[in-house]
Homo-oligomer: A and B are copies of this chain.
Amino acid sequence: MSFNTFGKIFRFTTWGESHGPAIGCIIDGCPPNIAISEKDIQKDMDRRRPGQSKFTTQRKESDKVIILSGVFEGKTTGTPISIIIYNEDKKSRDYESIKNKFRPGHADYTYFKKYGIRDFRGGGRQSARETASRVAAGAVAKIVLKKIIGAKFNIVGAVTQLGLMSCNKNNWKNSEIRKNPFFCPDKQSVKLWEKYLMAVRKAGSSCGAIIELRASGVPVGLGAPIYSKLDTDIAASLMSINAVKGVNIGSGMNAAFLSGEENSDEIRKKSGKIKFKTNHAGGILGGISSGQDIVASFAVKPTSSILTSRETIDKKGKNTKISVRGRHDPCVGIRAVPIGEAMISCVILDHLLMHRAQCS
């Protein structure tokens, strides 16, 4: 049982609050002798970092990672890797407005009811700031996976739905994703999305998003029946991200609408290689990877903090109203791409290690 730990063999534990002195994570079970540096991890951190476009929160954080243990002379030693990220933009704000009120859509009410105490500064532990630690852990996982599996292993994520705006997945280009602030894989959608999100922001409103993750080069055989299925753990990993409300593997919820014939992913051997004709299964059969691309997607709900006044209650149970002042974050889903990539990387590595344990 582990409230703040994720994983089975490759495990990470995160700690820290939005406006405490620092946040961080401990990575345990990392294989030894893997070259790793703060610089390597920083690359991924920078993709999640706030304040990089007008469409995300304006909190200023350099998110600089510092490795405190587990790496010696540039290589992992097999002992716990402690990573710390100091909070820089934690200046004393006017928390009076939210200190005694429960923001709708946030976990203010439930935290208070559960623990009888809550750190209200910026959401405390419920803040998405915690996800920075995940990205650090995921960066380590990706480096290890590349070392073990080789260059053919790749993880990519993109926003495929921005509120009411979809994109054309047939135009998906990995290279495009990093070129726009929306992590949109379809060049033609970018301008439309920009207009749309500007309108949402100006209206003081917010919108949700769907993120799709694709992992290629994953060996066949990762995952395990019955309660350590690869898709079970992917679902858990993604649902654990703040504001996520739905997770699909392959065709996901749409599988309900397919016929048995459509959904069957027939298998062929062609020029010595095993190929599936389709990938409705998202690369996972019976909880075990099939060697196809692993495809998972998840939905992020619209930002709960909006400029429009909302009805709520205060700590004493009195009816009141609340609204966010100043600038807000019109779509938290955008920044979920590197987080999703991090989580699925950790799950895949974890299952790779588990597979070595039982079946090597």
Q: Is A109 a contact of B31 with CB atoms below 8 Å?
A: no
How many copies of this kind of chain does the complex include? 4
Judge whether A5 is part of the interface by a CB distance below 8 angstroms. yes
Q: Is A1 a contact of B8 with CB atoms below 8 Å?
A: yes
Q: Is B26 a contact of A105 with CB atoms below 8 Å?
A: no
Contacts of A130 in B (CB 8 A): 226
Judge whether A175 is part of the interface by a CB distance below 8 angstroms. no
Q: Which of B26, B114, B267, B277 is A15 in contact with, Cβ under 8 Å?
A: B26
Q: Please, how many angstroms separate the alpha-carbon atoms of A2 and B233 in the complex?
A: 12
Q: Is A250 a contact of B245 with CB atoms below 8 Å?
A: yes
Given contact pairs A2-B28, A26-B4, A16 touches B302 in the complex (Cβ within 8 A): no
Contacts of A246 in B (CB 8 A): 246-249, 251-256
Closest residue of B by beta carbon distance from A82: B15
Given contact pairs A268-B311, A288-B114, A13 touches B80 in the complex (Cβ within 8 A): yes
Q: Is B232 a contact of A239 with CB atoms below 8 Å?
A: yes
Q: Is B301 a contact of A280 with CB atoms below 8 Å?
A: yes
Q: Is A304 a contact of B260 with CB atoms below 8 Å?
A: yes
**Chain A binding site: helix, strand, loop or mixed by DSSP?**
mixed
Judge whether A259 is part of the interface by a CB distance below 8 angstroms. yes
Q: Is B285 a contact of A107 with CB atoms below 8 Å?
A: yes
Judge whether A3 is part of the interface by a CB distance below 8 angstroms. yes
| Interface size class of chain A, counting residues whose CB lies under 8 Å from the partner chain | 35 or more
Q: Is B105 a contact of A359 with CB atoms below 8 Å?
A: no
Q: Is A29 a contact of B358 with CB atoms below 8 Å?
A: yes
A134 to chain B, nearest CB (A): 9
Judge whether A98 is part of the interface by a CB distance below 8 angstroms. no
A296 to chain B, nearest CB (A): 10
Q: Is B227 a contact of A6 with CB atoms below 8 Å?
A: yes
Q: Is B208 a contact of A255 with CB atoms below 8 Å?
A: yes
Contacts of A255 in B (CB 8 A): 208, 245-246, 299-302
Judge whether A14 is part of the interface by a CB distance below 8 angstroms. yes
Q: Is A78 a contact of B28 with CB atoms below 8 Å?
A: no
Q: Please, how many angstroms separate the alpha-carbon atoms of A82 and B85 in the complex?
A: 13
15 pairs from A and B in contact (CB 8 Å cutoff) = A3-B80, A3-B227, A5-B5, A5-B227, A15-B81, A16-B80, A17-B70, A29-B358, A32-B358, A33-B116, A79-B119, A111-B288, A113-B221, A233-B236, A259-B302
Closest 6 CB pairs of A and B: A107-B286, A206-B260, A246-B252, A110-B288, A357-B357, A208-B256
For the A-B complex with A3-B228, A207-B259, A231-B239 known, give 8 more contacts whose Cβ atoms are closer than 8 Å: A3-B80, A6-B226, A15-B82, A24-B82, A109-B285, A114-B220, A206-B260, A267-B312
